[in-house]
Amino acid sequence: MKTIDDLASGYSDEPGYFDFAKWGPISTAVAEEQRSLVEVQARARFGSEIALTEQSGRVGRAISSLVGFAPDHVVFQPNTSEGLTHTLFGLTGQVLMSPRDYPSMPVAATRSAEALRVLEPVWMDLDHDVVTPAVVQRHLTDAVTAVAVSLVDYRTGYLVDLEGIRQVIGDRLLIVDAIQGFGVVDAPYAVADVVASGGQKWVRAGWGTGFLALSDRALSALTPVFSGVAGSDLALGGWYHDRQPTLPGAAAFQVTNPDPIAQARLATALEDIAEVGVAAVSRAVAERASRVIDLADEFAVPVVSPRDVSERAGIVVLEPALDQMTTLTAALINHGVTATVRDTTVRLSVHVSTGDESFEMLRGAFTSFGTTVFY
């Protein structure tokens, strides 16, 4: 079994990278898997297609092992947004959600409401800008059929309490956009009905990778509106003017045949994580996030993201005084620190490969910042 150090040694990202919440540099194993299958695809030797077609089953098993849903209840998606679009266009009734979540979910909900007129988004008023069980409970009515949340808020780094939300919503559908926590949060996905995520961030499988996982309740409630050729139970060579039946299970929620090399990248990344264990990855990421918080405190850089380990994952958000934002941003750039800067905040995000050299670079940036700021 691999250790955290083994997993970390499989990444080759340069020191100073603190932007895994935006995208994660792919691992050496993922890059090698891609190269080998590109070679197969380029040469097209007799029988080589098998190496490509078998990736569908492989990635399904890999997703299943981390989410805990049966393989026939998960399906590969090219990104989180497509999985959420499948979900929200297939849903009927009122869906309760935050207007501050990453746009993938709110946009899909409003597009569905406008196009099909069978879904109605209900927007939460947030306490302290985060979604909690108490906030959800306050907005529940008999008309609400589903609740949609982000596992980790992309702006604040807040880790939602899935089990608490499940307790207050009863048997309503619980839809989870897991992109900002999947792979680094040991989340109780079993309480959810829909889990959608991509592999380009914390999983580090690159763009074009993701999945949709559906419970029995979700499969019964959702209509596969965008079920295309890959999601249909049809025989090629026939007539297609009649309605084509969809495949059973989550497989119905596909449009066309996926990229097998993208499937292989995601499978490779998930297999490596599974070998170490998400819980171990979560602990390592939490320790590194704590180091960022400690450094920020040392140099009096305000931290506005959660400090409690139970309420955060790999994201730390800084919010200096408005007139100090440019100075802090320049210090990070000058010391080679990659981060996400938005309006009044700086978002730093860590992974198991964030090592001592990266923290020394961050210390250097904070030192420069501190020497140019006068109180």
Q: Which amino acid is at 201?
A: K
- Helix, strand, coil in percent for the chain, rounding step 5: 45, 15, 40
Q: Which amino acid is at 365?
A: A
Gap between the Cα atoms of 119 and 105, Å rounded: 13
Mean pLDDT across the stretch 198-210? 98
Domain ranges of the chain: 4-26+277-370, 28-276
Gap between the Cα atoms of 185 and 325, Å rounded: 30
Q: Which amino acid is at 356?
A: D
Q: Is the pLDDT assigned to residue 237 strictly greater than 90?
A: no
Instruction: Yes or no: say if 50 and 41 are a contact pair by the CB < 8 Å rule.
Output: no
User: Which pLDDT value is given to residue 178?
Assistant: 98
User: Which pLDDT value is given to residue 373?
Assistant: 60
Reported confidence tier of residue 189, pLDDT bands at 50, 70, 90: very high
Sign of the CA dihedral running 276, 157, 28, 41: positive
Mean pLDDT across the stretch 108-124? 97
> Of 173-182, 206-215, 238-247, which range is least confident?
238-247
In CATH, the architecture of 28-276 is: 3-Layer(aba) Sandwich (3.40)
Tokens 């997703």 identify what position? 63
Instruction: Yes or no: say if 271 and 62 are a contact pair by the CB < 8 Å rule.
Output: yes
Gap between the Cα atoms of 210 and 204, Å rounded: 11
Spell out a b/e string for 182-196, using b for 16 or more CB atoms within 10 Å of the CB, else e: bbbbebebebbbbbb
> Of 119-123, 237-241, 304-308, which range is least confident?
237-241
Q: Is the pLDDT assigned to residue 90 strictly greater than 80?
A: yes
Domain 4-26+277-370: top CATH class? alpha beta
CA angle 144, 251, 239 (to 5 degrees): 115
Gap between the Cα atoms of 9 and 263, Å rounded: 23
User: Mean pLDDT in the chain?
Assistant: 96
Tokens 């890959």 identify what position? 230
Q: Is the pLDDT assigned to residue 113 strictly greater than 80?
A: yes
**Residues 246-273: pLDDT tens digits?**
999 999 999 999 999 999 999 999 999 9
User: Which pLDDT value is given to residue 374?
Assistant: 52
Q: What percent of the chain has pLDDT over 90?
A: 91
Gap between the Cα atoms of 193 and 220, Å rounded: 11
User: Which pLDDT value is given to residue 239?
Assistant: 79
> Of 17-31, 81-95, 197-211, 224-238, which range is least confident?
224-238
Q: What percent of the chain has pLDDT over 70?
A: 99
| 332, two tokens | 């990070």
Would you list the DSSP string of 51-92? HHHTHHHHHHHHHHHHH-S-GGGEEEESSHHHHHHHHHHS--
